Amino acid sequence: MEATSEPISLEAALASFTQTWSPRIVTAVNDYDVRVAKVDGDHVWHVHDHTDEFFLVLDGELHISLRETRGERTVVLPKGSVFTVPRGTEHKPYAPLPTAILVFEPTGTLTVGDRHDEVPAHVGATTGHALP
């Protein structure tokens, strides 16, 4: 996807699909995708070996469990919060209620990372979908 020449409504982008854990690419910045997703319930433990992963909570609340050298912890992101998962950190997003997020990561990055647990049916293993 190329950068857009017109403004994009994130509200309209989110209203254009219903699937959870199946992000839509809204624009590109250099070699990065800007993706929006609806999330609810568990994702999957996974790792991105070569890239950080940036999260912005647009609505709702996102929890991200992290397995770090110091042990396991969970960060809680309320609406309006951002968090970056460092490359190589095993993590598992979870939304306790329907939530909307924006994710910023290199084009072609798989949503379930380079290494992951078994992917459940409700999680899309994708590099992002185009908006309708």
Q: Does residue 101 form part of some domain? A: yes
Number of domains within the chain = 1
Is residue 52 included in any domain, yes or no? Answer: yes
**What is the Rg, in whole angstroms, of the alpha carbon atoms belonging to the chain?**
14
Lowest model confidence (mean pLDDT) among 25-29, 81-85, 92-96, 118-122 = 118-122
Is position 75 within any domain? yes
Q: What is the CATH number of the domain that holds 100?
A: 2.60.120.10
Average pLDDT over residues 48-66: 96
Question: Which tens digits make up the pLDDT trace of 75-88?
Answer: 999 999 999 999 99
Distance separating alpha carbons of residues 74 and 17, to the nearest angstrom: 29
Q: Does 116 reside within a domain? A: yes
Would you say residue 98 lies in a domain?
Answer: yes
Q: Is the pLDDT of residue 61 over 70?
A: yes
- The average pLDDT across 103-127 equals 71
Q: Is the pLDDT of residue 51 over 80?
A: yes
DSSP 8-state secondary structure symbol assigned to residue 11 = H
Q: If pLDDT is split at 50, 70 and 90, which confidence band does 130 have?
A: confident
Which residue in the block uniquely carries the two structure tokens 């959870």? 20
Residue 48 forms part of a structural domain = yes
Q: What's the gap between Cα 59 and its chain centre?
A: 13
Q: State which residues form the domain around 91.
A: 19-121
Is 127 among the domain residues?
no
In a domain, 97, yes or no: yes
